[in-house]
Amino acid sequence: MKTLRLREGKERSLLRGHPWLFDSAIAKGGADAGETVRVESSQGAFLAWAAFSPASKIKARVWSFDESQRIDEDFLDGLVQKAVQSRLLFQIESSGVRLVHGESDGLPGFIVDQYGDTLVLQVLSCGVERFKSVLVKSLMKHTGVERVFERSDTQARTLEGLPPSTGWLEHPNAEKKTRLQISEHQWVLNLDIEQGHKTGFYLDQRASRRRFADYAQRMAFEEVLNCFSYTGGFSVAALTGMRSAGVLPKAGHVLSIDSSASALEMAQSNLRDNGFDAAHYTMMDADVNQSLRSFLQEQRQFDAIVLDPPKFAPSQAHVERAARAYKDINRLALQLLRPGGVLFTFSCSGGVSAELFHKIVASAGADAHVDGFIAERLQGAMDHPMTLNFPEGDYLKGLVVIRK
């Protein structure tokens, strides 16, 4: 068994149960990519079993803090079973569910989303890569799903020194369709696991889409702007609420903006498949920042605006620039809202805390000379759990602001 010996005083985060070990904490030792290592304090006391990542700044990710635990097929099968079973507690109103959420489920660098009869996974660490076939077997056993697709083509994988890897891992007979449909709340939503972002869909916004539909109904929105709409989840939500409120079919319009033409095509099919007439929606292939500025010049106003941008701050180093970018779009959006209008605003940057995001939106309001009630704080859906020991899991945060 290979060993990693830590520098003096560097065992503190492991003792608190945090699963990452940085390069700077290691005095000596190493192993092959993904190999299980015994992590020891500077005094040689056992701290954890971890998977070694030679190319990454995060040199090892913990499998277990229990010295008697063997890191083998049974152990990993137990983790997969626990992750899958825990989703039953979360009461998810969808056939699209995140079954494994990396560190939060004890499987650092492993993401698994279920879309009905298909599992889509991302392998983002050397440890998971080494055990990939074992993990796939467990997933199939505990879910009964037979179609497994891999989408390990993210930047995180590059940082691990692993080449991209995408395609079918398992599929019965010749059935290889990658355009799938899930049911979320009462909607049908189309997605593409091969071409789409991440594993194909943003399951993490499920609960917030539901909330947006509730507001649309309660406040009877007529003019809605969905910025960074991707495949139009928030647009479907808005029109659903507007239909229930009786705004449709006489009035009601949702404008979805995204810079990806293929995402907008999918958004179009999502709106159509949920029974909405094309008179009630428009897709705009454009840059959100520029569009918001033009709307302001044109003195357009909206009853509700969604701002769900991509990650502006992938890491701590980008936080300042990201803060300026968030502030800018939030300032513009607040100015474009009618009094009484509702802003759903999000950040999915791990480097931007909920507190900082609140400050950014507050200072956007100050610059816009607009005040608002903070009606709610939002976070990722329950199947993307945060845990006490892993604060980095708190990546998605949102605010609902009602303009005064």
Annotated active-site positions, please? 348
Binding pattern for the stretch 308-327 against ligand SAH, x by CB under 6 A and - elsewhere = xxx-----------------
Q: Which stretch binds ligand SAH (CB under 6 A): 229-237, 239-247, 294-302, 327-335?
A: 229-237
Q: Which residues contact 325 (CB under 8 A, 6 or more apart)?
A: 309, 312
194 to 223: interface string for ligand SAH, x by CB under 6 A: --------x--x------------------
- Which strand (E) or helix (H) includes residue 239? helix 233-244
> How buried is 352 (Cβ within 10 angstroms: 0-12 exposed, 13-18 middle, 19+ buried)?
buried
Q: Would you give the end-to-end CA distance of the chain in angstroms?
A: 63
d(CA 401, CA 361): 9
Nearer to ligand SAH, 309 or 372 (CB): 309
Question: CB–CB of 396/348 below 8 Å?
Answer: yes
Q: Give the range of 101-109, 148-156, 179-187, 258-266 binding ligand SAH by CB under 6 A.
A: 258-266
Restricting to residues 7-46, name those near ligand SAH by CB under 6 A: none
Smallest distance from the beta carbon of 259 to ligand SAH, in angstroms?
A: 4
Closest approach, Cβ 290 to ligand SAH, in A, equals 8
- What is the distance between the alpha carbons of residues 40 and 166, in angstroms, rounded to a whole number? 36
What 3-state class would DSSP assign to 191? strand
181 vs 259 by CB, closer to ligand SAH: 259
Nearest 5°: CA angle at 394, between 57 and 95?
110
**Can residue 103 be called a binding residue for ligand SAH (CB under 6 A)?**
no
Q: Which stretch binds ligand SAH (CB under 6 A): 23-31, 116-124, 216-224, 231-239?
A: 231-239
Residue 263 as a binder of ligand SAH (CB under 6 A): the answer is yes
Contact 201, 190 (CB under 8 A): no
Tell whether omega for the bond before 249 is within 30 degrees of 0, i.e. cis.
yes
Residue 302, strand partner residues: 337
Q: Which is nearer to ligand SAH, 231 or 274 (CB)?
A: 231
- Phi and psi for 121 in degrees, rounded to 5? -125, 155
Phi, psi for 224 (deg, rounded to 5): -125, 140
Subset of 264-293 contacting ligand SAH (CB under 6 A): 287-289
**x/- binding map, residues 50-79, to ligand SAH, per CB under 6 A?**
------------------------------
Asked whether position 258 contacts ligand SAH by CB under 6 A, the answer is yes
Contact residues: ligand SAH, CB under 6 A = 202, 205, 228-231, 233-234, 257-260, 263, 287-289, 308-310
